[in-house]
Structure 1
C-alpha cells in the first residue's frame, strides 16, 4: 500500500528547498510564497524510489501563524521528515511540529540536518548532539540524523536511501474498503470544472463513482482522477489524489470537507475521545473550555467536556467529549489536535474512540467503564462497548464500521460470532441493526416484569394485550425491536401467546372463595334464564354484591366464553345465544329477510330482548340491516 511522507520543522529551516532538491518539484506555488520566501499553504510532490514505487510528499508551512495548515497536511502522513537547520538548531516550531506529529499518531520518521554547508564540522557535530538530546523520549529518539545541503547536494543520496528504506518498512493501517478523502485544496481547471485534492486516508476510489461531501451531503460523481500528476482510473489509499467533481461549483466545496461514498459516514455533534494534554501545555485544560479543534483537514471551534474531573493537567490522559459546532464525520481511531486561543499553541491531542457520542450523565460510572473499554485493543470489547452505549436504539453495520474501523468482512464475521455467543442480537435484518446482549436481556426482563405486574393488578384476566404491552413497557422502542423482544420471549417459553393476549407460563386465573361463589351463582342464574336472562341487578342484590365488585368475575366469564354481553347489564348464556343465532340463520336462509316481528315469532321473546339481540347480530356481522329488515351478511371471500 502506498505511503505518504510529510515535512515538519521551523520556518526557514529549508523544508521546501530540500523537497525541491530531492524531487525536482517546487512546492511553493503561490505568488505570495515566492515573494516572501516562506511556505504558507500545503505543497505536494512525489519521490520515485528504487524498484518503481512512488512516494507521496506533503510539504507543510513552518511559520507559527500557519500551524493550522501544517496540521491539515500532517493528518494524512505515515512518516515524517523533520528538518532542522544546522545554523540554528532546534527552535519553537521544531518542538511544536514534533508534538503535533506525536498527537497525530505518527510513529516513524527521520531528521534532515539542513544547511550543513553553512557551518563548520565542529558546529555541525555540536548541533547534531543537541538535536539528539531534544529528540530524547520522542518517537524520533532513535531516528537517523542526516546532514544535507540542498545547495551543494551533499548528503542527498544518503537521505534518499534512508527515505526509501523507511518507506519500505512503513505499513499504513487503513481500512481497505472505507473510502475517505479529506479535502485540502479546491480549485477550478479550465475545461474540467471543480477539482479537489487530498490524501486518500483509507479505501479507494474509481473513476465514475458516486460520492458525497460530508458534512453537507452534496452528491456528486468522480468525473476524473489524477494521482501524482497523472490521470488514473482508480486511486488506492495512501495516494495524493485529485478528483474532478461533476455538477459542483468551487463555492460548493471547502477545505475540511470529506469525500466518501453514500451511506458510509455519519456526522455527529458529539465525539468521545481519549485525550492527552501535552506536558509542555503550561496550564490545565478545564471542563467546557473552548478550543481550536483540528481533525483531518478541518479546523473548528469546539468545547472540551471532561467526564471525571474538572481539569486535565499537563501530561495527563483522560476520557473526554468534544462538543462540535455542527455535525462532523469521524471514524474510530482518527486523531485530533487541540490548540488554545491565547497563547495560540498546541495543548493536547488524542484519538476518537466514540464517533457517535451518546447522551450520558457526567460521573456515570457505568458509562465511563464502557468508554474505557472503547480504548481497548480488543476489537470484540470495543464492539460490545459501542453497542452497550447505543442502548435500545441499536447500531447498523454501516455505523459500526465507523465505530471500530474494521473492514466489512472482518466486522461481519465478528458480529456473527458475537450473536452466536449472545453478546449481540440482530434485531432488524433490513437495516442490519444490532443491539447489545446486555441491552436485550434488560429489555426482556422489563417486558416480563410488566406482564407480571399486569397479572398482579388484574388476576382475573387471562393476560395483557400485545398493544397494551407495547404502549406501556414498549413506549420509546421501535416497533420492530418491541416485536423482536416479545417473539424471543415466546420462543424461549418465558411468555405464552394466545392470539393477541400474552401471559406468563405459570399464570392461570384463580378466584378467591367469595369470587368463586359469585361466579357459580352467575353461571347458574344465566344458564337457568336461558333465552330470557335475568337482570344483573336482580342476580346481585340477593348476594349482597355491587356491580363494581362483580365486574372482574363478569369479565372473566366473558373471556372464557361462558357469557356474552349484549348491552349494559344484559348478559346471555353463550349456548342460549347460539341457539337463537341458529334460528335466525335458518329463517333467513328460507325467507331471505327478517323484521322485528318475524324475530319475535321465531324466538318468542319480548321487545326488551328483541332489539338488543338484533343489534348484537349486526355487531357480530351475522346480519346486516337494510331499512327495517335484516338479511344475512355475505361472507367475504
Structure 2
C-alpha cells in the first residue's frame, strides 16, 4: 500500500485544475472568485486511488501573484507534476515553478504536455525536446514527458502508471522526531471550533493529544482528526491531515504550525546554505526578500556573512547567507527555503537552513565587562562569518550532528553543560532532530580526541579557559587600581565570573593561573603575581603563624608581643602584617594592634547593641565587650575613625556607619 502527495504546478491556464478533475472527479476551484475568473487563486485539494495506491493532489495556483499560495502547497510533496500546455509552450511560470520544485527538494518529477489534442504531433515532439533540455538545466533528469488531453482522456492511463511507479510506500518516513504539522489551510466550523489542515511532516497525532501552537505557545487539545473526509483516531507521518482543535484564544492562519516538545525550534536570525538560480540577476546585499519555508512566508533581510552584511549574489552561485526575519520561523536543520523578490524577478534562490544565530545571542554566555571602558570578552573563538562558513562545511559532509558540528558550536558558545537537558542540548537536539544522548556523545568525542576539556559536567576549550583567565586578571587589576586592593578572596573572583562561565571552569582557570605563576594564592586570597604579593616558603610559613596567633581572639597580642612570640624582627612582622591586611585576613586597629576581622566584627556588634539609641562611656563599653583598657581604648578610637561611633566628651553615640549596622541587624 502506498500514500503519495502530488503537487500539480504549471503556468496559469495550462489545465492543472482540469487535469485534477479528470484524475479525481473533484473540481478544486471552489472559491467564487476562482469560478468567476476561471483561474486557481488558492490551493485546491483532492485525492484518488488506483488499487492500493492512494494519491493526494494539491492543485497549486499558476499566476505569479499567487506564488506564495503555491509554495505553501509544495513545501513537502513527493511527486511534482509540471503541466505545460501544448498550444502555449514554456512560459514564465513554467520556468519559475520548475526552479521551485527543484529548490524545494521534490524527489520525482512527471512532466505533462496538456491539451495535446489542439496541436500536431510534430509540435508535441518539439516541445518534449525543449522540456528535456530546459529541465536538465534546472537539475532534473530521468523524468517522463507525457502528452495528455483531459478532454479526450488521451494519456491519462500512462500518467496514472507513472504516478504508481513513483508512489511512496506507507511507513516510509523521515527520521525526524516529534509532531510537526505546518498549516496550509485553516477555517472555523460552527459548534466545533477551528480546523487546521496540512501535511504531517513528522510524528503521529491522536485524538486527545495536546499540541503547541508555535506562534503563541498555547496548548491546544485535538478533538478530532480527518484524512480526506474520513474521521480517524490517529494520523501518520506524511499524510494530508485535518485536525479539529480547541483551546486557542485567537484565529489560526496559514503558516502556523502545531508542534510537540522538541519537534523544532523557532528563530528570526538564521544561516542558510543558498544557491541562486541560473536565470536570476546579480543582486547586491543586503536586500529585503520574501522568505518561504514550510507553509510560512515573511519578509526578511538578506545579508552576506562578511563585510557587515554587504556582498553580491550572482547567477548559479553557492553561498552562505544570513536571513533576519520579521517574525520567528519554525525550523530544523537542512529545512528547505525559497527566496523571492517582487515581480518581474520572482524566485531567485533556494537553500537549506543550517544554523540559528538568534540562539547564540540568547544562550551564548554573555560578554564579561568591568566599568565603562572595561574589558569585553566574547565567548566565541571564531567570528560570525567563520561560524557560518564552518557550519556550511560540516553540514555538506554530515547530515547528522557530528563531532565537526560539536566543534563549531563549542567554538561559538565557549562552554556547554552536558548535564543541562533544558538548554543548549535541548535546542541542538530539536534543531538537528536527534536524541540528546547523540548530541552529548558528539561533544564527548571532542574530549576523547583531546580537542576539548571536560570540567565537571561541562565541556569547553583551552582557548575559552584562557579567556576566563584574562577576565580574572583584569578583575584583579581593576580592583587594585580603583579600590587599592591587591587581594580578592577566591570565592569573590569565582563569583565575578558568573554569567560568563560556570563555577567549575572559573575554578579551573584560577588553579591553572596559580600553577603557571600568573596568580598567587595564599589561603583563600588571590592576587596577581608581583613583588608585592610573592612570598618565599619561609615567609608564607611565618604569615600563617602570624594569622593563627591572632585568629579568633578578641584580645590579641600587641606587635611587640607577637615579635617575641614568633621570634622575628619588628620590621619583618610589619611587612607580614601588611601582607595579611591586603589579603583581608587581618585588620589594623592601632599602630601596634591587629585583629582577626571576624573577632573585630563581633566586638563592633556588641558596641552597637550597647549604645543603641542612647550613649555609652568607655567603662560601659569595656564591660559590654569584656575587654581591658589596653584593648578597649584603641578599639574605641578605631570605631571613631570608621564613623561607627562619635565621641562627645566621655560619651559615645552611634555614627553613620554604626546606624547602618544597627539597621541591618534589625532587618535580620
TM-score band w.r.t. shorter chain:
0.7 to 0.9
Structure 2 counterparts to residues 42-441 of structure 1, below 5 A: 42-50=43-51, 52-168=52-168, 174-248=174-248, 251-262=250-261, 264-281=263-280, 283-308=281-306, 310-357=311-358, 358=360, 366-378=386-398, 379-380=401-402, 381-392=404-415, 396-406=424-434, 410-411=438-439, 413-415=441-443, 417-418=445-446, 420-421=448-449, 437-438=460-461, 441=462
Residue number in structure 2 paired with 1:621: none
In the TM superposition, residue 454 of structure 1 has moved relative to its aligned partner by 8.5
In the TM superposition, residue 366 of structure 1 has moved relative to its aligned partner by 3.5
CA-to-aligned-CA distance 1:165-214 (integer Å, 9 cap, x gap): 11248997633413221111111123321111111122222222222222
Query: What CA distance in whole angstroms lies between the structure 1 residues aligned with 2:203 and 2:522?
Result: 52
TM-score normalised by L of structure 2: 0.72
Query: What CA distance in whole angstroms lies between the structure 1 residues aligned with 2:407 and 2:41?
Result: 45
Of residues 446-455 and 63-72 in structure 1, the stretch that sits farther from structure 2 once superposed is: 446-455
Flag the 1:264–1:521 CA change in 2: closer, same or farther, 3 A: closer
Residue number in structure 2 paired with 1:465: 489
Structure 2 counterpart of 1:482, from 476, 486, 502: 502
Q: Is the 8 A contact 1:3 1:171 kept in 2?
A: no
CA-to-aligned-CA distance 1:98-152 (integer Å, 9 cap, x gap): 0111121223211122222333333322322222232233343320112222222
Q: SS of 1:167's equivalent?
A: coil
Residue number in structure 2 paired with 1:608: 633
Residue 442 (1) aligns with residue 463 (2)? yes
In the TM superposition, residue 13 of structure 1 has moved relative to its aligned partner by 1.5
Q: SS of 1:350's equivalent?
A: strand
TM-score normalised by L of structure 1: 0.75
Query: What CA distance in whole angstroms lies between the structure 1 residues aligned with 2:413 and 2:624?
Result: 64
Residue number in structure 1 paired with 2:610: none
The two structures, once aligned, show a CA RMSD in angstroms of: 4.7
Flag the 1:36–1:555 CA change in 2: closer, same or farther, 3 A: same
In the TM superposition, residue 60 of structure 1 has moved relative to its aligned partner by 0.5
Q: Is the 8 A contact 1:198 1:240 kept in 2?
A: yes
Flag the 1:502–1:160 CA change in 2: closer, same or farther, 3 A: farther
Flag the 1:353–1:172 CA change in 2: closer, same or farther, 3 A: farther
Structure 1 alignment gaps of length 5 or more: 537-542, 582-593, 616-637
Q: SS of 1:290's equivalent?
A: strand
Residue number in structure 2 paired with 1:589: none
CA-to-aligned-CA distance 1:409-454 (integer Å, 9 cap, x gap): 654554554565566788897xxxx76x43xx23322344566788
Q: Is the 8 A contact 1:103 1:349 kept in 2?
A: yes
Query: What CA distance in whole angstroms lies between the structure 2 residues aligned with 1:428 and 1:311?
Result: 46
In the TM superposition, residue 466 of structure 1 has moved relative to its aligned partner by 3.4
Structure 1 counterpart of 2:589, from 556, 560, 567: 567
Query: What CA distance in whole angstroms lies between the structure 2 residues aligned with 1:573 and 1:184?
Result: 77
Of residues 154-163 and 389-398 in structure 1, the stretch that sits farther from structure 2 once superposed is: 389-398
Q: Is the 8 A contact 2:15 2:85 kept in 1?
A: yes
In the TM superposition, residue 39 of structure 1 has moved relative to its aligned partner by 1.1
In the TM superposition, residue 406 of structure 1 has moved relative to its aligned partner by 3.1
Q: Is the 8 A contact 1:333 1:405 kept in 2?
A: no
Q: Is the 8 A contact 2:182 2:198 kept in 1?
A: yes
Q: Is the 8 A contact 1:599 1:610 kept in 2?
A: no
In the TM superposition, residue 504 of structure 1 has moved relative to its aligned partner by 11
